Structure 1
């Protein structure tokens, strides 16, 4: 009896090993084996086989719940599937388990009506059709032979019709060796892609030792944004820069934070405790480089990046009535004397003195809002209407609005408390996001 058991285990192991060895990658023209799949949704527990689709064009749609383009394509592909009836079958296949897939389809209005066979927990198909980019489409002809590997753009009514009518397989093939090799290399190390062809490049990293928490925006000769660099800043600071576009600073009373886990986005302390908080995954380094064509869209691209990097949050600018300190002209004659007579542009500031030469009034407003009056219960807004560059010297306590008002008096300027509808940055939890895991 013991000998029989050993023989049976040896036979099963040999059979299993042999079966595993058969899962070799297939190429165009190969016959796909008649695999049987038991992990299939929407078939009332019935398995499906490759042979079930003989006589039809079979398109295997490799996807995942974290792949937004995959999910966005489902309604279109479902319509194609129905339009061609018994001539076509599009079968989604994913390595993910049943629960996250079912949760996704039950939750999303745009796809919850789709009830077609879907292969889950797949290890077979992704072994014989290896790929590194999703979505990925494998075309199988009516006889079970591999026709093509393509991207989403090739799955069209026109292309399907061509294959049905005259077996025309002139699809734009996905080059599986070329594209995956490029993905393994650094962009600038590629022998094919040249740095001078770069249109834009962005990257993000976590907290980096040795870098001061700050940002800098570089401009080209036409005063367009060429590069944005942010070092060791929190998510709020990233959003403020992206949505403020250097025109709005979003001081404290122009910021609304409505997130459940506030400690992951905001820290009220300072010193070493603040640095420790940053190191705990709460600070980031970001860089954006733009080719000439994209420089008019710098902050739009940065906002898109933040949406991808932090899908758990949603940021938007809304209009609200809030308290402001409006910088106004109280003496036209004195204010007229502010117009610069200098060619050089200079800016100096400290807690006891602010001076600028040949600069816009907006520089005064921005620096006071950002550096010295962050805790003020109202934001500073320029209402002077001054268009020319000015020269200005203020001496006093730059953290005290009353001291600043006194220093402005000789220049015919003053800050007056008012209420006004102004842009406010709202950062909230993104309740509509597609989670990466469920």
Structure 2
């Protein structure tokens, strides 16, 4: 922006303290403030497809020789903003693929990773994961700007910006392919599956069906199921009353296997991969090996459901039993049962009693933090470690983690390493006198089979 110049004659003709000078200076300051404010992310607001992104400047940048980055640096190129975080498993898994695409298209493409986390957290992750050691591309950290103008609810999230700085698309990772990039470079209007930016999580809190006559407090029992519902994230939530009894179960857009796992696991048993038997002829009706838009399309083909169970006090002790009965009615073509089998496990055991004794909590506050590269908790049971590793980071492990440590007190624990690698976790546990040991044990296994 060119500076605003006021003619000297204007000042020569009046006293420095005159009202004219004061008015002119006030107008100048207001104009300067307005120009600056207009470039703030709050003033810009949420950008839509077709909008032009302002020429923001970013100083919190790594792998760029200490130099800042400006949006105008990418003019003439296709720019893809990759919003990610260190705790996001799919984000980390996609880095090598994105790096290869970036290099393959040379000067025509730049993929810019963006995270709200600080440089230290990012550096810690990259220093501990061998598959990331060769990735040395510029990244924006401590981001407060881009996440304001491109708000999103799910990671990873990709924003495509064309060669002129116009917003082209919002997509999932499955759309970031060489074919789509080539189309974007050629005609600037690729046929991409745009991410739905209106997905809601509020329906994990509110009932699907509310009656104007029957008040919720007068309901004794309510069970309902619906097919795939647009606008809802695949998730579930169990609501408890003040006595920690199950009052409501809400499931949004999840498959049959996930429904059975919840009903038979009762929040205490995790049916990991080697504790699930599928004796079903048409597996593609209940299982899909994929992600992104293809997974969403599969759900829409009658393979995902929304379920709600509401129970008055007299029924709450039997919540999951009632849910199992519901599934038998809703899906008569399948039957599920839990049997005991000898399976491979990794047993958490104490290897040094003295070191393990030091784990007893010294904190009054209860905290929990986990990511791809670390796990930490204070004043919590060791079962939290087992549950999070089983369900979040080691889902594909060919053995189940089981707690055999005998630690009954709440503990404080901080691990650093690759949380998707059992050997890395074992090494991180060593200073605490703990280890995971390979064993076999008879454990519950969920079996889903055809009834006819």
Q: CA deviation at 1:194?
A: 4.8
- Secondary structure, aligned partner of 1:211: coil
Indicate the residue corresponding to 2:243 in structure 1. 222
Query: 2:300 aligned with 1:279, yes or no?
Result: yes
Q: Residue in 1 aligned with 2:211?
A: 188
- Structure 2 residue 323 is matched with structure 1 residue 302: yes
Q: Provide the alpha-carbon RMSD of the alignment.
A: 1.4
Are 1:364 and 2:409 an aligned pair?
no
Query: SS of the counterpart of 1:231?
Result: strand
SS in 1 for 2:328: helix
> Is it true that 1:261 corresponds to 2:288 in the alignment?
no
Compute the displacement of 1:266 (Å). Answer: 0.4
Q: Secondary structure at the match of 1:209?
A: coil
Partner Cα distance (1:430, 1:389) in 2: 45
Given the alignment, which residue of 418, 423, 439 partners 1:402?
Answer: 423
Q: How far is the alpha carbon of 1:197 from its aligned partner?
A: 2.7
Q: How does 1:336-355 map to 2 (within 5 A)?
A: 336-355=357-376
CA offsets 1:204-260 (integer angstroms, 9 cap, x no match): 111122222111111111111111111111100010011001111100000000011
**1:44 matched to which residue of 2?**
none
Aligned to 1:429: 450
Cα deviation, 1:365-407, whole Å, max 9, x if unaligned, reads: 1111111111111111111111111111111100000000001
Q: Which of 271, 274, 280 is matched with 1:250 structurally? A: 271
Aligned to 1:198: 219
Aligned residue in 2 for 1:320:
341
State how far apart, in whole Å, the 2-side matches of 1:367 and 1:262 are.
27
For residues 30-64 of structure 1, what are the alpha-carbon distances to aligned partners after superposition, in whole Å with 9 as ceiling and x for unaligned?
xxxxxxxxxxxxxxxxxxxxxxxxxxxxxxxxxxx
Q: How does 1:17-36 map to 2 (within 5 A)?
A: none
Tell me, which stretches of 5 or more residues in structure 2 are unaligned?
1-208
CA–CA distance in 2 between the matches of 1:345 and 1:407?
21
- What is the CA-CA distance between 1:200 and the residue it aligns to? 2.1
Q: 1:341/1:220 Cα in 2 relative to 1: closer, same or farther (>3 Å)?
A: farther
Deviations 1:130-175 (A, max 9, x none): xxxxxxxxxxxxxxxxxxxxxxxxxxxxxxxxxxxxxxxxxxxxxx
What does residue 334 of structure 1 align with?
A: 355
Q: Secondary structure at the match of 2:211?
A: helix
SS in structure 2 at match of 1:402: helix
- What aligned pairs does 1:165-184 form with structure 2 within 5 A after superposition? none
Alignment partners' CA distance in 1, 2:345 and 2:440: 6
Q: 1:256 to 1:228 in 2, by over 3 A?
A: same
Moved over 4 A (4+): none
Aligned to 2:255: 234
Rg bigger for which structure? 1
Quote the offset at 1:189 in angstroms. 3.6
Residue correspondences, number: 244
1:318 aligned counterpart, secondary structure: strand
TM-score under structure 1 length normalisation: 0.54
| Residues 1:373 and 2:373 aligned together | no
- Measured in 2, the distance between the counterparts of 1:233 and 1:378 equals 24
| Structure-1 separation of matches of 2:240 and 2:363 | 23
What do residues 308-356 of structure 1 show as CA deviations (whole Å, max 9, x unaligned)?
1111110010000011100111111111111212222221111111111
User: Take 1:303 and 1:382, find their aligned partners in 2: how far apart are those partners?
Assistant: 27
User: SS in structure 2 opposite 1:210?
Assistant: coil
Which residue does 1:211 correspond to in 2? Answer: 232
CA distance in 1, matches of 2:284, 2:216: 40
> Larger deviation: 337-346 or 243-252?
337-346
Matches of residues 64-213 of structure 1 in structure 2 within 5 Å? 188-190=211-213, 194-213=215-234
